[in-house]
A and B are shown apart, each in its own frame.
Chain A
Amino acid sequence: MLHIVACIKQVPDTKIIKMNPKTNTMDRASAPAILNPYDAHAVEEAVRIKKKYGGIVSVLTMGPPPAVKAIKKCIEIGADEGYMISDRRFAGADTLATSYALTKALDKIQKIRPVDLILCGKMTIDGDTGQVGPGIARRLDIPPLTSVKKVEAVHQEEGHIIVHRKIEDGHEVIQSTLPCLLSVEKEINEVPYSSFPNMIKAARYDPVIWSVDDLEDVDIKQLGLKGSPTIVAKVWAPPKPEGGKMLEGSPDDQVDQILSVILEKKELFQAKGGS
Chain B
Amino acid sequence: MNLDEYHGVWVFIEEQESTIAPVSVELLGAGRQLADKRGVELAGVIIGSQVTTLASTVFEYGADVVYVYDQSIFKDYRTESYMKALLHCCETYKPEIILFGATSTGKDLASAVATDLPTGLTADTTELDVEEDTGLLLASRPAFGGNIMATILCKKYRPQMATVRPKVMKALEKEPGRTGKLIEEQIDIKEDDIRTKVLEIVQATTKKVRIDEADIIVAGGKGLGSAEGFQLIHRLAETLGGAVGASRDVVEAGWIEHHHQVGQTGVTVTPKIYFAIGISGAIQHLVGMKNSTMIIAINKDPDAPIFEACHYGIVGDAFEIIPLLVEQFSRAIAKEEVNHVGEV
Contact = CB atoms under 8 A, between A and B. Distances in A.
Interface stretch (B2-10, B46-54, B149-157): B149-157
A243 B121 contact: no
B240 to A, nearest CB: 7
A244 B312 CA distance: 5
Contacts of A271: 339, 342-343
Contacts, number: 275
Interface string B240-270: 1100000011001000011000001100000
B338 A270 contact: yes
A96 B211 CA distance: 34
A108 B86 CA distance: 31
Contact of A270 (B144, B150, B200, B340): B340
B311 A244 contact: yes
Contacts of B148: 19, 24, 235-238
Given A135-B111, A234-B151, A255-B325, A129 B124 contact: yes
Contact of A175 (B199, B308, B329, B336): B199
Contacts of B328: 255-256, 259
Interface stretch (A47-55, A56-64, A197-205, A224-232): A224-232
Given A235-B151, A238-B283, 20 more contacts: A15-B145, A130-B123, A131-B121, A138-B116, A170-B204, A187-B258, A232-B150, A232-B151, A233-B153, A235-B150, A236-B149, A237-B148, A241-B290, A241-B308, A241-B309, A246-B312, A246-B314, A258-B314, A262-B240, A268-B272
B313 A246 contact: yes
Interface stretch (A65-73, A74-82, A161-169, A207-215): A161-169
B189 to A, nearest CB: 15
A255 B322 CA distance: 9
A144 B112 contact: yes
Chain A interface size band reads 35 or more
Determine chain A's interface SS by DSSP, over half rule: mixed
16 contacts: A96-B121, A168-B103, A169-B207, A172-B200, A173-B198, A235-B150, A241-B309, A243-B308, A243-B310, A247-B312, A247-B314, A259-B325, A262-B296, A263-B332, A272-B241, A272-B340
B145 A130 contact: no
A240 B283 CA distance: 10
